[in-house]
Amino acid sequence: MLPRVLIPSALLLLASGPAAAAQSEPATRFHRDPALLAEKEAKIVALFGQKSPQAGAELEKLFREDIIAKVRPAYGKLGFDIEDVVDLVSAYWMVAWLAANGIVDDSRPDRETAQAVRAQMRKVMLANPGFAALDDRGRQDIGDTMLLQALLAEIQMQAAATQGAAMKQQVSDAVQAQAAALLKVDMRRMTLTAKGFAGQGAPSAAGTAPPPPAPTPVRASGMAATSKAAGLYFRAISGGGGVDWEPLAFFGNGEYWEIGATPLDELNVAESKAREPHRWGRWQQAGGGFRLTGSDGHSNDYTLPSGNFFPAFSSAQGGATLSGAYSRTSSSGLQGGGTTVALFVDKIRFTPDGQFVEGSNMGAMGSGVYAGRKTGGSGRYRLSGTTLELTYADGRVKRTSFAYGATGRPAHPSKDMVFIGGDTFVTD
């Protein structure tokens, strides 16, 4: 699995996180390091190229341009500073709202509206105690992630609008789903006014964080885990210009593992650390949540539940049967030597009697429009703890990691989101 870029904890408290008055007002500006932006762009190209070599090549062409110089004039018209994390987050919210609501014409928010949104975002972000702990690099990480997501979402919608209502709706739905996963809000339930966002889910600094739920005990070979300290969780990450969720296993010795395809009960800790050290880090309790320090030495604080960090659950807690279709969607909107929009959908359908069917769809448009559908295997499934076992009709057996997502306060298992092989699948 290619590396994915962690979104620092401050970003995702915009809609539902805890509020606490900051002791002193933290900085929101940062001095951009071009190397960090280039690294993020390279990871995005690699991730898209893994799905589609053509998409990766065209995105690479786009990033050969000076993206900052390209977008700076448009941001300046709104009174936004291209090196201010609050401004970049505000821009993403507005672009995502426009795309989610199918708006692609010239009726863009004016400067007054943009500044009202900025005031909302600033209040929310400064109310997050974790924001003050961000250094220059952390602020750039958030800002550049939002910058690239906003850019790709806008390109997607502009390209889709030239290909008819169906493609436009597909891309609009994809951006809506991305924003919902990132911020836990429905952009279609809000309105954008001259005073900023209004309606259900509008950014607000009000609220109090409930106590963290009890963790789920887990074990792995070669490492004992205690029910008091170990557990399953998931956090928001970004990769390929989009936002996703990543399941984590906490162990009793203070280490955590970014869960991949290997089932927890088959994890060989020593082998994993040698082969994929970037998946390992350390955790410690911090306030109402945790402080996670990755393999690169960078730390981020998470509050439960905060909009970007939640408990996950085993099948023993969420149920040993599934029903209905689940899908995982990724998309790209690219320019350079023509325009290309690609949507990739991996699907799996489960029935309560233990049957499953796999499949996938792909749609893309460049000089023309094409789509493809691939039917995968089928057979029987079995859930046991944190493992999903698939027995195919041809006799093959595949064992992979599994966990349920969370919903509600206090958090409880949700069958609307599951983690299969470390990847996020949601109900269709």
CA distance linking residue 225 with residue 222, whole number of Å: 10
- What dihedral angle (degrees, nearest 10) is formed by the CA atoms of 40, 45, 46, 52? 150
Structure confidence at residue 410 (pLDDT): 81
pLDDT at 152: 82
Residue 57 pLDDT: 75
pLDDT of res. 82: 94
What is residue 106's predicted lDDT score, i.e. its pLDDT? Answer: 58
Question: Which of 223-227's residues contact partners 24+ apart within 8 Å by CB, and which partners?
Answer: 223/251, 223/252, 223/253, 223/255, 223/269, 224/251, 224/252, 224/253, 225/250, 225/251, 225/252, 226/252
The pLDDT of residue 186 is 83
What's the Cα-to-Cα distance from 305 to each of 35, 49, 140, 312, rounded to whole Å? 33, 34, 24, 11
Tens digit of each residue's pLDDT, the chain (428 residues): 222 333 333 343 333 343 333 345 678 999 999 988 988 888 777 766 666 666 677 778 888 888 899 889 989 999 999 999 999 999 999 998 998 888 876 556 889 999 999 999 898 888 876 777 778 888 888 888 889 888 888 887 887 777 778 778 878 887 887 777 666 678 888 899 999 998 877 776 543 333 334 444 555 554 433 333 368 999 887 644 456 789 999 998 899 999 999 998 888 888 888 888 999 999 998 877 889 999 888 898 888 766 678 899 999 999 999 999 998 875 554 434 444 444 556 789 999 999 999 986 655 444 444 444 555 689 999 999 999 999 999 999 999 999 999 888 788 899 999 999 998 898 87
Entry pTM? 0.51
Residue 113: φ, ψ to 5°: -65, -45
pLDDT score at 402: 96
Alpha-carbon distance of 406 to 414, in angstroms, equals 5
Spacing of C-alpha 174 from chain mean position: 13
Q: Which of 73, 119, 262, 102 is nearest to 172 (CA)?
A: 102
Given this model, what pLDDT does residue 105 score?
A: 65
Question: What does the pLDDT read at residue 225?
Answer: 36
